[in-house]
Structure 1
């Protein structure tokens, strides 16, 4: 692991009482996957006057993180990561960005992680929410405090209502309602955070492939005649899983998703307001208007929710 920072040893964060707030001036640790969200959160923290240290994950995070105070990390080097976070005075930690589930043989274990192998194997036996919740618990047990990215940067949460120039029609609102109900059922099973509904028929459910590949699959099904529907039919629906820890892995929406929905021939995208994050809402709206699809954010209703 390489570090861009040198600093005298601070008081280790695990020496603080459980639940205590981070000391004034303590930097925020941002564990960064890929995409634009890590820098959006870092910018928001800096605007609020908070020092940050980025911990980009090798193989996933973008090189742009090197414009910030940073320490590159490898998956599986938990001991080294803890040591660096403590050395730099971090107590609060945010997880944000895209990281694919690793294979055991690809993980570069350090000694601390080797001592946790039974726990690591249990973490990997289950869905993404199980994995991330277990990972978050591991950090909390080590004396760190998990903070949601949206708590640092509330502006990344998508607002309620119609975004852009187009609105869903009545039949599309029916598809949205069915999609919400279906996700309320699949969420507790830790299956996925999105699906596609056409004419009140669920035609695709997001699983390990993620939203973009699910949309590519819908486009392929249209092209080969397995889905027989007119253009601009169907809705991508996304919401957090029922019961998930919203400090970890809120579903995201970006220009790539809009483009994928358009290639899949969908009429629009519907997401839960305040439950989905977007790095640049203006760019998102411009992309949707350009593609001729709607974006609609429905209110969280509490039915089947966390």
Structure 2
């Protein structure tokens, strides 16, 4: 349900990056009688996925075009969803609408990713748009508290989870990442700009090279948003691909912040985790 007092109009403009989440969000909106209008980011959004919905395309830097499209479609309510690699300024082709807000964008680039996203959000709000997050339009896609899987963490795993949450909280001010791997009390890897997939792939390589001495089936991937992060833009995400990476890395399971983590393709995620004997649990951040 929508939060008390929160008004969401229809249609809602969904600025869509990569991955399946924009389409899962759009399906959820339709089930709740909210019309999604997808604005696909060229080079990121999947053309085959967006084709199922009313949509338009823009390139990074076409802020003026985006505003015109949203207003022509009577979209006052907007959300951002999907993966986008932070572009270099040299690769961005600005239209006149973007040139007008360029000083604000340049200032945003001088901060970390959280600062950039929040600053872009303020630009939109200054134009009269209302920004929403997944909690507002598709709360059923958020991770619940407790286990989703048949397997559950043991006492050792719970200790690793607690340590992972503490590490992420300590790293939050540095805007580094949203994931950490802890094995038997040892922090063995921290997510960086490469993201969770790269984190897990690197751990699998280290294990194959004999650098990880813990037996397979120990250790936990812990994911949680950074403190102070604007949750309308960038929630940690869990999906079948994450499960595959955790299994390949020889870990025991995944713990994510309940209520603040997106679960992409939940049925497939649970099925994959059960098949691999992994636990997936939602914990208080």
**TM-score normalised by length of structure 2:** 0.94
Which range moved further: 62-71 or 204-213?
62-71
Offset, 1:117: 2.6
1-structure distance, mates of 2:215, 2:112: 34
Secondary structure (helix, strand or coil) at the match of 1:71 reads strand
**What residue is the counterpart of 2:186 in the other structure?**
201
**What residue is the counterpart of 2:143 in the other structure?**
158
1-structure distance, mates of 2:244, 2:104: 39
Please state if 1:69 is matched with 2:49.
no
Runs (4 or more) in structure 1 with deviation over 4 Å come to 19-22
**What residue is the counterpart of 1:189 in the other structure?**
174
Provide, for residues 202-244 of structure 1, a one-character-per-residue CA deviation record: whole Å limited to 9, x for no partner: 1111110000001111111112222221111210000111111
Please state if 1:226 is matched with 2:211.
yes
Q: For 1:130, which of 115, 118, 128 is the aligned residue? A: 115
Please state if 1:99 is matched with 2:84.
yes
Please state if 1:54 is matched with 2:54.
no
Report if the CA contact (8 A) 1:27-1:53 is conserved. Answer: yes
Offset, 1:164: 1.0
1-structure distance, mates of 2:11, 2:39: 12
Q: Which runs of 5+ in 2 are unaligned?
A: none
**What residue is the counterpart of 1:5 in the other structure?**
none
Q: Which runs of 5+ in 1 are unaligned?
A: 1-18, 301-306
Report if the CA contact (8 A) 1:174-1:200 is conserved. Answer: yes
Secondary structure (helix, strand or coil) at the match of 1:261 reads helix
Report if the CA contact (8 A) 1:160-1:299 is conserved. Answer: yes
Q: How does 1:252-263 map to 2 (within 5 A)?
A: 252-263=237-248
Q: How does 1:1-306 map to 2 (within 5 A)?
A: 21=7, 26-63=10-47, 64-300=49-285
Report if the CA contact (8 A) 1:33-1:98 is conserved. Answer: yes
Secondary structure (helix, strand or coil) at the match of 2:14 reads strand
Cα distance, 1:209–1:20 mapped onto 2, change above 3 Å: closer
1-structure distance, mates of 2:22, 2:135: 11
Count of residues in correspondence between the two structures: 280
Offset, 1:20: 9.7
2-structure distance, mates of 1:184, 1:170: 21
What value does the CA root-mean-square deviation take over the aligned residues? 1.6
Secondary structure (helix, strand or coil) at the match of 2:57 reads coil
Secondary structure (helix, strand or coil) at the match of 2:229 reads coil
2-structure distance, mates of 1:199, 1:209: 24
Offset, 1:103: 1.2
Offset, 1:44: 1.6
